[in-house]
Amino acid sequence: MNMALWLERIGRADPSRVALAQGSYRATYGELAELTARRAGALQLRYGIKAGDRIAIIAENDVRYFKAFYAIWHAGACAVPINAKLHGREIAYILEQSGARLAIVSQAMESVVAEFAPASLERMIVLRTKEWGELTTSDPVPVAPVSQDDLAWLFYTSGTTGRPKGAMLSHGNLAACSFSYAMEQNPSGYTGAILHAAPMSHGSGLYMMAHVMGGGINVIPESGHFDADEILNLLPQWPGLSMFAAPTMIKRLTASGVNAGGQFGTIVWGGAPMYVADSLAAIERFGPVFGQLYGQGESPMTITRLTRDEIAAAHGAEREYLLGTAGRAFASMECAILDQDDKPVAAGEMGEICARGPAVMRGYWNNEKASADTLRNGWLHTGDVGTIDARGFLTLKDRSKDLVISGGSNIYPREIEEVLLRHPKVREVSVIGRPDPEWGEIVVAYVVGEVSAVELDALCLSELARFKRPKHYIAIDALPKNNYGKVLKTELRTMDAAGRQA
């Protein structure tokens, strides 16, 4: 089933219902369904897009982001959303690796994509231009027939090698993700409004479909990005507003002095662990409106969940305990702790967190080796370490040993290390995450070599997205290593913690 069918159906059944909003802009389901069919016709007839072709979207949050997604699906193509904060070289790699034929880009990203676009990219369509507007002048086409296993979304997520991998998400995967959210995380709110303040290229975009399924309203902040004061001022306009948020966003909402009235519906947090004290402070201010998820791009937003009702019903020590967990497996999913031989461990024992179920990806695009390794023995191997208690609640003990999660974004140290090692004066480098009360973690680079932090920062800014660059560059005479010459990052983290306490 094509995910675009949900939009098409409500467009016929309830055409005057509001579907999309940003600032004073409103669009109804009837209007969107018709214009989506016309844009899909233009993609097929003018640009020769065929079933399964990949089309990239590189833009900030905007109502046109939503429109691009649905036009791509309606045409039977696969969307490749790319984080607009990435460096041009990173964008170019994803465009080339995915084999995207077209890229739909914002005006702010046009020059970046033009500079770095690979030869394989046939054309850019720039939003807010005459060409984008003329897509709606084509004849409408029916929703392209697809199977549940056909590709809908290539979700690029960094791998341990530092090179992004494209998780192949099918229409069936996205439907399973939507059903799980609607049934278990926001059963009373998926027919209402959801705010996309987090990037629609990742977590927040994965929730737009459930709200279309329920005839809800997808709302984009007028600014197009997260601003705590702006969001709180929207509450009276959109009662019961739901949203997905990284822990950093929730902390900023809690700290904001704005009290505009109104009340949130459900706020689902994910993308990084949240300190129990911060969770309690947020509940104190906004009430028990929060739920938690644990997932990966490989099983989007859907492995375990801690619902708002579970949090609301618990008190005292029980609430604190639950907030320290990542909840229980979604109804459609299995979650298990496995040992190195992929055998289940006893309740409370540590091992690798593994999952299986209808939300799990088909594999990685054009990467059979990584697919086989990650999906071996029928399980998605997350690379995260945790425990499951006797009641079925998952607790994350550690993440993939090198992964840094800062502000909800995944950052792999090796990617940064490879850039820093290009400097002729850098002999060795090791990058770690340092706990941070605002961001969860910040990136810190330990460098062996006679080179200034200014030079290193300039190098990173020329090659990497700004959010990936280290916040601190620390000179060190030698990196801690074992007998085999392997850098001991655990010891480096201990040294880093001791240095901050000295």
Spatial separation of the C-alpha atoms in residues 249 and 408, rounded to whole Å: 9
The pLDDT value given to residue 162: 58
474-502 pLDDT tens trace: 999 999 986 556 788 888 999 998 887 65
Q: Write out the two tokens for 351.
A: 């091992």
307-338 pLDDT tens trace: 999 999 999 999 999 999 999 999 999 999 99
The pLDDT value given to residue 160: 42
Q: Write out the two tokens for 383.
A: 């690379």
| Ranges of H-type helices in 316-389 | 316-323, 368-374
In the chain, how long is the greatest CA-to-CA distance?
A: 70
State which fold the 1-146 domain adopts: Rossmann fold (3.40.50)
Domain 404-501 is classified in which CATH homologous superfamily?
A: ANL, C-terminal domain (3.30.300.30)
Spatial separation of the C-alpha atoms in residues 130 and 109, rounded to whole Å: 17
Spatial separation of the C-alpha atoms in residues 338 and 73, rounded to whole Å: 37
Model confidence, pTM? 0.87
Spatial separation of the C-alpha atoms in residues 400 and 180, rounded to whole Å: 25
Spatial separation of the C-alpha atoms in residues 248 and 270, rounded to whole Å: 10
Chain region(s) in the chain for CATH 3.40.50.12780 = 1-146
Residue from 275, 298, 304 nearest 392 by CA: 304
Chain region(s) in the chain for CATH 3.30.300.30 = 404-501
Q: With left for phi above 0 and alpha for psi between -120 and 50, is residue 116 left, alpha or beta?
A: alpha
Residue from 269, 239, 271 nearest 254 by CA: 269
Q: How far is CA 224 from CA 96, 125, 195, 200, 205, in A?
A: 27, 20, 11, 10, 13
For residue 181, what is the DSSP state? I
pLDDT at 159 over 50: no
Spatial separation of the C-alpha atoms in residues 334 and 375, rounded to whole Å: 14
Q: Which residue has the higher pLDDT, 30 or 413?
A: 30
Average pLDDT over residues 11-34: 98
